[in-house]
Amino acid sequence: MNYVFDIKKKTFSWTKAMKFLKENGFVTIRNIFDKKFVENICNQCNEVLTKPSIMGSYGYYKKDIPKKLFDPLLIGGRIVDCFVNKQILEFVKKYLKGDFTLAECNLKFDAGIQLEYFPFHKDFSNGWNLRIHKKDNIKLNKEDLKSPIAVGGMVYLHDTDQGAFCYCAKSHNFNVDRGTALSKYPRNERNEILKNMVKVLGKKGDLILFDDRGFHGPEQPSKKNRTVLIFDYYKSNKFGARTKMKIPVFLNDLGHLTKDQLRVLGLGKGYMIPHENYHTRGFNETKKYKLLVKIINIFYGIDFLKLKIRLLLSALKRKALLRH
């Protein structure tokens, strides 16, 4: 199956790419980003992934052992263009047949630890529910899911042959809905879905777009590490103009964007899930976090004690000098 559509090739056609996406539920767009731009973004992302964030320092955070995460727009500069590239926005708008918002985005590193920890799933099913607060509840039904409501996106930050994104082709139109987890489906239906599973190999800078109604997930287990930018666009008439998560960004980096690009970023429209409740932010509720806070406070306490001793010794020294 040829799922790669290379913009630099004479045979490239957005119409053909759209046809493939509609039929199969996913597509890879190659060379959508300039080579120098990709190299710069990759270098910045790799650098931040070497530094853990401690007590507010600039660096990644962890959700569990295999993953490192970072809010990508805090890298700054033109990385925002990965998510609001004009050609991408036009393509996604045609697929969704309406306006949409960048719901969430993450820089994500998955360690090649040869474990299966993120099973195949789809993002939406009949009855999918997101309770924002008592008077604000989003719920999807069968009718909502008959047409595209969200598009996922992924940018490979290195050539990827292991740990690749996998998509079960045509599963976005699978006629049985038993929930978002593939494991809930009987064996015959799982086999029917998985027989069309495609391991989406790619090059650095490749953009994968996929229909969130289809089954997908990373290749696991994998021996190799994987680093990607991963994001979602939600259709506005289903989810509103808000983002799903709070997306931190430097205002200085937005000056070159158009009104439409700023709208896609959800500028000034609010959010669905509070920062502390977003699924990647739960570390501060763990015992590990509380233990680390105690350890860090002990070190700061020791520093404070050293300072008090130095000040005391200095005062005693001055008094001794005055006596003489």
In this predicted model, what pLDDT tens digit does every residue of 138-177 receive, in sequence order? Answer: 899 999 999 999 999 999 999 999 999 999 999 999 999 9
Specify whether 128 is located in the same domain as 73: yes
pTM, whole model, 2 decimals? Answer: 0.90
**Residue 54, pLDDT score:** 81
What pLDDT, on a 0 to 100 scale, did the predictor assign at position 254? 96
247 and 310 housed in the same domain: no
CA angle at residue 230 from 228 to 232, to 5 degrees? 170
Please give the radius of gyration of the chain, using alpha carbons only, rounded to the nearest integer.
24
Are 122 and 263 members of one domain?
yes
The pLDDT, as a whole number, for residue 150 is 98
pLDDT bracket for residue 203 (50, 70, 90): very high
Same domain as 309, residue 234: no
| Domain with 315 in it | 286-324
Percent of the chain with pLDDT over 70: 98
Partners of 131 in the β-ladder: 137
Looking at the structure, do residues 216 and 175 belong to the same domain, yes or no?
yes
Confidence band (pLDDT; 50, 70, 90) for 21? very high
Phi, psi dihedral angles at 13 (to 5 degrees): -150, 125
Number of structural domains, the chain?
2
User: Could you tell me how far CA 263 lies from the centroid of its own chain?
Assistant: 19
Distance between CA 93 and CA 63 in Å, rounded?
Answer: 32
301: buried, middle or exposed (CB in 10 Å: 19+, 13-18, 0-12)? exposed
What region, left, alpha or beta, does residue 127 occupy, with left being phi > 0 and alpha being psi -120 to 50 degrees? Answer: left
